[in-house]
Structure 1
Amino acid sequence: MSSKAYSTSVLDIPLLTGDNFKKWLEEMEVYLCLKDLDLCLREKKPADLTNSSTIAEKNEYASWETSNRKSIAVIKSALTETLKDSVKIPETATEYLQAIRAKFNSSKKAQAGDLMSKLTSSKFDGNGSAREHILEMISLGNKIKGLDINFDDDFLVTLAINSLPEAYKPLRFTYNALQNKWDFDELIKVVTQEEGMINRNKVESAYFTHHHKGTSSKGPHRNGRRFSKKSRYTPYAKEKTHQAGKGKTENTGQKNF
């Protein structure tokens, strides 16, 4: 069983870009721990030294001060230039991380608001694939959850179904009537099947329209024969004409006798 690999070089710590704070903080804390630089994060700053300070107190202060100074340098090296300029470096590494967290939380709320607005207003306009549209909505939902904003999967599934056009209306009726709601995998499977059926119907309709221009408007046709939508294809037009002609011939023949 392989264990998770953490950064052993300061160059391996990912830059904080605004949307990876949770991973960045984890990597930073592990790195400072492995390098024995986290003393300043675990313990408060010792009292300032005086002329009466003992050697032990001086050593404790020196160790903490070294840990704090190096930790601030490491934290700063893992920030983008924009973040470096926007976050003032305080006295301690702990305060530095708190200031960065506050900056991230502020931008996180704005980012979450933008993503949520995009998610709730998302509509499938028929361009591309309905399956890809659903996958994009699921991806948006996961990004929002990554910002520590949680909502039920059922909510996202309902949003996705309601984002589909009128042709998928029967699918909405089916879902609303279910007691056990679909998960994401079931939703994708059902939407893919429904999309295939809708596309086949479009192709068939286009075929009939193209091949039967100028035919009677009294009903749909196939191969020159009218059929009923509610039952099997019924070739009334030609068969009735043929039967009528046959009957006429038989009647005529009987009169001749």
Structure 2
Amino acid sequence: MQIRVLCILLLLTACSQTAPIHNTQAPATPPANESAVGGVTPRFEPPSRIGNKDYQVFGQDYKVWNGIEHYVEEGTASWYGPGFHGLYTSNGELYDQESISAAHKNLPLPSYLKVTNLDNGQAIVVRVNDRGPFHGDRILDLSHGAASRLGIVKPGTARVRLELVKVPRPANADEIIARHEARTIQLMATNSASKAEAAASDLRKEYGDAVRIVSANTLFRLQVGPLDKASAEAALRRLRSSGYQQAFFIN
């Protein structure tokens, strides 16, 4: 298993001190048939809010293959685990080392890959939610859970075949995307229920039912949302200019 360093500004959790290999184009090949293997079940997901822009690591530029339809590649895969468990992945999720996931330098986040260990023939489908590996010529970093299923933990690396699993776009895709892009604004957190309710009462004149108070123990959080992306961005500007300078998006 390779040694890596955390790249905080990019939310990248799969890095090394070795100069990375830069792939500029994705191979064009038919999508994988995942019906005969285990692992995660692919499902339609909108692109993650973060982690899908071209980026740079150790002075090397990397391009994200947004909109990719087909991809097959063979090369070396490694795995990463305990040192990163509970830290953020490149798309903002918390890394669970026992999940069936992986890190890839170029694929959109999230993506699904059929991964076949060419040394023993074992194959599973993994969900790509992280960036890396930036070590030599390795093409994929697997979670400990995925590496265990493929028989890669003990040797540390293996020759693998990667095949993109294309997930069909469902009829309600636009609705799913809209829900994913909806944003919620937090205006204040206070231990005074009356203070939160007084502020909420004024805000409901403009934002109606989008205003809510979320309470936990003795803390009361005043929020507005969820609102569609454009409305949320406009609301945040208005709220900051009207006295809620510390207002921020919580999702």
Q: TM class, shorter-chain normalised?
A: under 0.3
Which structure ranks higher in relative contact order (CA pairs < 8 Å, sequence separation ≥ 6)? 2
TM-score with structure 2 length normalisation? Answer: 0.23
Question: Which of structures 1 and 2 has the bigger CA Rg?
Answer: 1
TM-score with structure 1 length normalisation? Answer: 0.23
More helix as a share of residues: 1
More strand as a share of residues: 2
